[in-house]
Amino acid sequence: MIYLCRHGQTAFNREHRLQGQMESDLTPLGRRQAAAMGDLLHDLIVRDPPAPWRIVASPLRRARDTAGIIGARLGLPVEFDDRLMELTVGEWEGRLRADLAREDPELFRDKTWFFAAPGGETYDQVMARVAGWLSEQAPEPERRLIVVSHGIAGRLLRGAYAGLPREAILELDVPQDALYRLSAGQLDRFACEPVEDLEPVKDLA
């Protein structure tokens, strides 16, 4: 069993700025989202038969900080694996989506746009590393993992687990207020307790 979480909201998320493998800190909302994930995981894990659990996260700071908040709630240390990192979007890292849309109005109409960045990773490259990580984990039902990753990397990890075709994988959602259980070949979504964003959103368009 794997419980898969995306990191909480970051400053770049709020600004609609592409992160890739750049660092961006969690916002106050992001930290509350991470705490809500920790609370939900605590409740979910209590329902399962006693077994040792591990937390494994991407080493990027937003995932590290999210995993640290979850680990503190569960009393578990955090391990890191580079293969769980977000894809790099090359020359687009740090750029506003609005600016890219002005340069190419057709860009965001194609679900594969994430993999079109100059100098960025391809779908196959990201899939190879997340699927490679998954293949090395203990088999079910012994597997007891909490994974903290990213939007695109987590989407492909879910797809690799469930054996979904590329088109279906690209349609998967990437919430920061919910997590997924990967078990018995199924993907089950669990919503976290809602948390309020107390900061005004800036108009950066």
Q: List, for residues 59-112, the tens digit of each pLDDT value.
A: 999 999 999 999 999 999 999 999 999 999 999 999 999 999 999 999 998 889
122: buried, middle or exposed (CB in 10 Å: 19+, 13-18, 0-12)?
middle
Residue 18 pLDDT greater than 50, yes or no: yes
Q: Which long-range contacts (CB under 8 A, 24 or more apart) does 75-82 make?
A: 76/146, 78/148, 79/54, 79/55, 80/56, 81/56, 81/57, 81/133, 82/58
**Amino acid 197: pLDDT:** 81
Phi-psi region of 186 (alpha: psi -120 to 50; beta: other; left: phi over 0): beta
123-137 pLDDT, tens per residue? Answer: 999 999 999 999 999
Q: Write down the CATH superfamily of domain 2-191.
A: Phosphoglycerate mutase-like (3.40.50.1240)
**Amino acid 168: pLDDT:** 97
Q: Which residues lie across from 54 on neighbouring strands? A: 145
Window from 10-14, 140-144, 194-198 with minimum mean pLDDT = 194-198
| Separate counts of helices (H) and strands (E) for the chain | 7, 6
Residue 205 pLDDT greater than 50, yes or no: no
Chain-centre distance of CA 29, in angstroms? Answer: 16
Q: How far apart are the first and last CA of the chain?
A: 41
Q: What is the residue extent of each domain of the chain?
A: 2-191
Q: Please give the average per-residue pLDDT across 55-62, as a whole number.
A: 98
**Amino acid 203: pLDDT:** 44
Q: Active-site positions? A: 7, 86
Confidence of residue 146 (pLDDT cuts 50, 70, 90): very high
Residue 190 to residue 109: CA distance in whole angstroms: 29
Q: Is residue 78 within 8 Å of residue 68, measured between CB atoms?
A: yes
